[in-house]
Amino acid sequence: MEDAALKRLIRELENIRGTGTQLISLYIPPKYPRGDIMSMLTDEHSKAGNIKDKTTRKNVQAALAKIMNYLKAIDYKLPENGLVVFCGNISQKPGEQDIRLYPVAPPMPVSKIYRCDSTFYLDPLREMVKPTEYYMIVTMDGKEATIALVKGNTYDIVARIRSLAPGKHHAGGQSARRFERLREIADNEYLKKLAEEIKKTFEDAGDALKGIILAGPGPKKNEFYNKDYLPNNVKEKILGIIDTGYTNEYGIREALENAKDILRDAEIVRQKQAVDRFIGEVIKGGLAEYGLENVYEALKEGRVDTLLVSEDAEAWVGKYVCQKCGTEVERLAKDPEELKKAEVACPNCGATMQLDVIEDAIEEMIEMAENTGAEVFMISPETEEGQKLSRGFGGVGAIVRYKA
User: pLDDT by residue (tens digit) across 315-372?
Assistant: 999 999 999 999 999 999 999 999 999 999 999 999 999 999 999 999 999 999 999 9
> What is the mean pLDDT of the segment spanning 233-252?
95
pLDDT of residue 174: 55
Q: pLDDT class for 169, splitting at 50, 70, 90?
A: low
What is the pLDDT of the chain when averaged over all its residues? Answer: 91
pLDDT of residue 7: 85
pTM passes above 0.85: no
- Which residues does 339 contact at the CB level (< 8 Å), separation at least 6? 316, 317, 318, 331, 333, 355, 358
> What is the mean pLDDT of the segment spanning 129-137?
88
- Which residues does 282 contact at the CB level (< 8 Å), separation at least 6? 288, 290, 393, 397
Q: Which domains does the chain have, with CATH numbers?
A: 3-129 (3.30.960.10), 134-265 (3.30.420.60), 273-400 (3.30.1330.30)
Question: Residues of 151-181 as b/e, b for ≥16 C-beta within 10 angstroms?
Answer: bbbbbeebbebebebeeeeeeeeeeeeebee
The number of beta carbons lying within 10 Å of the beta carbon of residue 243 is 12
pLDDT at 222 over 70: yes
pLDDT at 131 over 90: no
> What is the mean pLDDT of the segment spanning 268-296?
93
Q: pLDDT class for 376, splitting at 50, 70, 90?
A: very high
| Lowest-confidence segment of 34-38, 57-61, 205-209, 319-323 by average pLDDT | 205-209
Q: Which one, of 29, 258, 21, lies nearest residue 119 by Cα? A: 21
Query: What is the H or E stretch that residue 47 is in?
Result: helix 34-48
pLDDT of residue 103: 95
pLDDT of residue 1: 52
pLDDT at 252 over 90: yes
Percent of the chain's residues with pLDDT above 70:
97
pLDDT of residue 40: 96
DSSP, collapsed to helix, strand or coil, labels residue 330 as: strand
Strands of the sheet containing 209-216, edge to edge, are 154-162, 144-151, 134-140, 209-216, 238-243
> What is the mean pLDDT of the segment spanning 384-390?
89
pLDDT at 168 over 70: no
Q: What is the pLDDT of residues 43-78, one digit of tens each?
A: 999 999 998 989 899 999 999 999 999 999 999 999
Distance between CA atoms of residues 229 and 202, nearest Å: 14
Using an 8 Å Cβ cutoff, are 142 and 163 in contact? yes
pLDDT at 132 over 90: no
> What is the mean pLDDT of the segment spanning 168-188?
72
User: Measured between alpha carbons, how far is residue 305 from residues 301, 369, 375, 392 in Å?
Assistant: 11, 8, 6, 20
Q: What is the pLDDT of residues 299-310, one digit of tens each?
A: 999 999 999 999
Using an 8 Å Cβ cutoff, are 187 and 165 in contact? yes
pLDDT of residue 172: 52
Q: pLDDT class for 183, splitting at 50, 70, 90?
A: confident
The number of beta carbons lying within 10 Å of the beta carbon of residue 88 is 29
Please give the backbone phi and psi of residue 147, each rounded to the nearest 5 degrees, phi first.
Answer: -115, 130
> What is the mean pLDDT of the segment spanning 264-270?
85
Using an 8 Å Cβ cutoff, are 141 and 148 in contact? no
Q: pLDDT class for 167, splitting at 50, 70, 90?
A: low
